[in-house]
Amino acid sequence: MNTRIRVALFTPLIASSLAVGSLGFAVSSAHAAQSAAPTKASCSTKASTNGTGRVTVSGTGFRASTKVLLEGSTGKTFTASVTPTGNFAVANLEDADYSATQSGTGEIACGSAKAAEQKDAKAQFKEGFSQGFALVKADCKKLNQNKNNLAAVDPNFEKGFKAGSELAAQRFCK
């Protein structure tokens, strides 16, 4: 067989086998990196229920059985042990804006208890507003009947409910 014909016949075969081989390597590398990556980690700060002004910082989704460094806006740092399920909790800390860092991952903001309470208050107001608006929009007669049902509800929800029902009354109950 002629040398030129051999080269012409075998060159595409060699090139395609190299391409397929490197594709397999790329796929296996991507799969290994994906399986080694931890789940999405998050953390939060909650106020203590005993009225001491202390907080608990907790997190989920961290690499299991390792350590997490907590740093507060006051400059104090704490180390937390991560459980085999990827969680941690550190109680009885002063209220500050905390962040959590685990070796090999970036910094994750945990926030402060005050910020969490403000976020919850806004969420309660928004939910109350939506329910109050919808109730009065559907039936204008329910504008003043709702006060008896709100006695045990969050004050922010009650304020939102009142604001929503009053706005619906202005728009729909004339």
User: What percentage of the chain has pLDDT greater than the value 90?
Assistant: 17
- Which of 9-13, 58-62, 77-81 has the weakest average pLDDT? 9-13
| pLDDT score for 36 | 39
Degrees, nearest 5: CA angle 156-157-162: 100
| pLDDT score for 2 | 58
The band of 81, judged by pLDDT with boundaries at 50, 70 and 90, is very high
Does residue 171 contact residue 141 with C-beta atoms inside 8 Å? Answer: no
> In the predicted model, is pLDDT for residue 150 greater than 70?
no
Does residue 69 contact residue 102 with C-beta atoms inside 8 Å? Answer: yes
Q: What is the CA radius of gyration of the chain?
A: 29
Q: Which of 63, 97, 95, 104 is nearest to 80 (CA)?
A: 63
20-67 residue pLDDT tens: 454 444 444 444 433 333 458 888 888 877 777 888 999 999 999 999
Judge if pTM exceeds 0.75.
no
The band of 8, judged by pLDDT with boundaries at 50, 70 and 90, is low
Give me the chain's average pLDDT, please. Answer: 75
123-149 residue pLDDT tens: 888 888 888 888 888 888 777 665 545
